[in-house]
Structure 1
Amino acid sequence: MVFRKFLSALGVNAPRVETVVENPAVRPGGTLHCTVTVAGGGADVDIERLRLELVVRAEDREADGSAGWYNPYTVVAADIDGFRVAAGETVTHRVDLQVPWEMPLTHGRGARIRGGRAAVRTELAVDRAFDKGDFDEISVHALPAQDAVLQAYEDLGFRLHEAEVKIGLLRSAPRMEDRQTAPYWQEIDFFYPESWNMGRQELETVFIAREDSLDAHPGGSPAVTFRHAELDQNVWTETLDAHVRHCHGID
């Protein structure tokens, strides 16, 4: 992101801000390292608050249902207390944002997932006025365990369609409320293999990731749990196939 002027109503006095995300490609459980530089304008300015937010596109908050994201959902945020920037002065802050284990994905197996978007947003508050600034878009890549499950679906003939973030806690899926800790979830939608004769229906899968393991809930069914330390692609593909068929009553 290049320097941009915040709060244009301040005219020549407006500070300019540049946010640089040093590692714009991360995985769940990682840390985003950001540097925020505030350059003073034509007069001394008191910054009431500087906030960095990790935001995602959430289906529930986009009225038109398009690929746009005009009202993103904040996953985590970090605040810097107020400070003064003198005219012409430059102030730099380093800010770390911890990426949750249940962070929605934008990429799987190295490719973008349709509908998955995430960014770092900078907000500056001056004289009780707020400017949320621009997005610095980032990519959230799947954990190795998540990539292995995505690969298993592909090997079984499923085709990845898109992903959607929903706000709230899942209560309909058995056992899920015991595992989900974040107040949101991401559904990853797959088209069924033609051999299953399911037409254009989609299978929604929810990942609930943790440091040591991953729950995959296909179609709101009970989870099949995979432990990161036991990753074996062939075994996991067979396990997922048996689990999904059992949930659907398919031999």
Structure 2
Amino acid sequence: MSIFKKVFASIGIGAAAVDTKLEKDTLTAGEEVWGEVEIKGGSTEQKIDEIYLSLYTTFIKEVDDKKFTDTALIDRFRLTESFTINPNQTKIVPFSFKLPDDTPITAGKTKIWISTGLDIKNAVDPTDKDFIKVLPNPVMNAVFQAVSNLGFRLHEAECEEASYRLRRRLPIIQQFEFVPVSGPFKGRLDELELVFFPASGGAMDLIMQVDRRARGLGGFLAEALEMDETNVRITVSPADMPNMQQKISSVIQRFS
């Protein structure tokens, strides 16, 4: 390789291209993701230091009372050791990885995607971006169905920066906000907010924020002082699924 081709390669001219192909793009957290990365060599020989897959989501961040959308890294997966791709060569790298249990689901404003990158020293690293749809697991589905049967409708779902009290592996939480449109809690609650955290054995730790409707002057003052919200933490498991509606209803009844 001439010195000019070396220089061109180092600044990204005639560089390798990358394309990731997923076996399927609709998944559940905890499921195995299968696919392959196709690397096509450019007009010059290049050393690829590594191939990596990064799993990202969007979240709402607040700074100085201003909200904006930011990007959070959920996990990162390294696929290969370093190798050299020759001019016009095509290399296929198969992969599989487990979608983390705490991956947010695709709902509301939340987007999830896999970004593929080649790490090339002193070069403009080529990347590829593939959106995926993440579905709720069976326990989450049972909770959502129970809440719907109780007359609540999903109003908003988004990821936001987690407080230190709620922060776990990720610096974000996904919050689901429901409003009562019918049933026993219409007129009694303003909203019901849910946050899920994975637990062992397929269970989920569920935080429920029950926002009671203000009544009269005392209720208005309580609402103004944010004293009308009650945070409840329970654990729901696959064993609860047949009676999930009764379990969720009894909790809301106690605090509404």
Q: TM-score, normalised by structure 2?
A: 0.76
1:122 paired with 2:116, answer yes
The change in CA–CA distance for 1:132 and 1:218 in structure 2 (over 3 A counts) is: farther
1:210-225 paired onto structure 2 within 5 Å: 210=199, 211-219=201-209, 221-225=231-235
Matched residue, 1:244 = 252
Alignment partners' CA distance in 2, 1:224 and 1:56: 26
Matched residue, 2:25 = 24
2:144 to 145, 150, 159: 150
The change in CA–CA distance for 1:75 and 1:162 in structure 2 (over 3 A counts) is: same
Query: SS at the partner of 2:139?
Result: helix
Matched residue, 1:162 = 156
1:184 paired with 2:172, answer yes
Tell me, yes or no, if the aligned pair for 2:17 and 2:126 is still in contact at 8 Å.
Answer: no
The AA in structure 2 aligned to 1:125 is D
Query: SS at the partner of 1:197?
Result: coil
Unpaired stretches in structure 2, ≥5 consecutive residues: 1-8, 210-229
1:231 to 241, 248, 252: 241
Alignment partners' CA distance in 1, 2:10 and 2:134: 32
The AA in structure 2 aligned to 1:72 is T
Alignment partners' CA distance in 2, 1:150 and 1:241: 12
* TM-fit CA distance, 1:140: 0.7
Please tell me whether Structure 1 or Structure 2 has the larger radius of gyration of its CA atoms.
Answer: 2
* TM-fit CA distance, 1:168: 4.0
Tell me, yes or no, if the aligned pair for 1:145 and 1:214 is still in contact at 8 Å.
Answer: yes
Alignment partners' CA distance in 1, 2:85 and 2:178: 51
Alignment partners' CA distance in 2, 1:65 and 1:115: 14
The AA in structure 2 aligned to 1:57 is T
The AA in structure 1 aligned to 2:172 is Y
How many residues are paired up?
A: 223
1:10 paired with 2:8, answer no
1:46-195 paired onto structure 2 within 5 Å: 46-60=47-61, 71-79=70-78, 80-106=80-106, 113-131=107-125, 133-168=127-162, 170-171=164-165, 180-193=168-181, 195=185
The change in CA–CA distance for 1:239 and 1:187 in structure 2 (over 3 A counts) is: same
Query: SS at the partner of 1:52?
Result: strand
* TM-fit CA distance, 1:170: 5.0
The change in CA–CA distance for 1:129 and 1:204 in structure 2 (over 3 A counts) is: farther
Percent sequence identity over matched residues? 23
Query: SS at the partner of 1:196?
Result: coil
Alignment partners' CA distance in 1, 2:62 and 2:181: 31
1:208 paired with 2:197, answer yes
Query: SS at the partner of 1:14?
Result: coil
Runs of 4+ in structure 1 over 6 Å off: 61-64
Alignment partners' CA distance in 2, 1:243 and 1:229: 17
The AA in structure 2 aligned to 1:216 is L
Alignment partners' CA distance in 1, 2:132 and 2:62: 20
Tell me, yes or no, if the aligned pair for 1:156 and 1:193 is still in contact at 8 Å.
Answer: no
Alignment partners' CA distance in 2, 1:8 and 1:20: 27
Unpaired stretches in structure 1, ≥5 consecutive residues: 1-6, 107-112
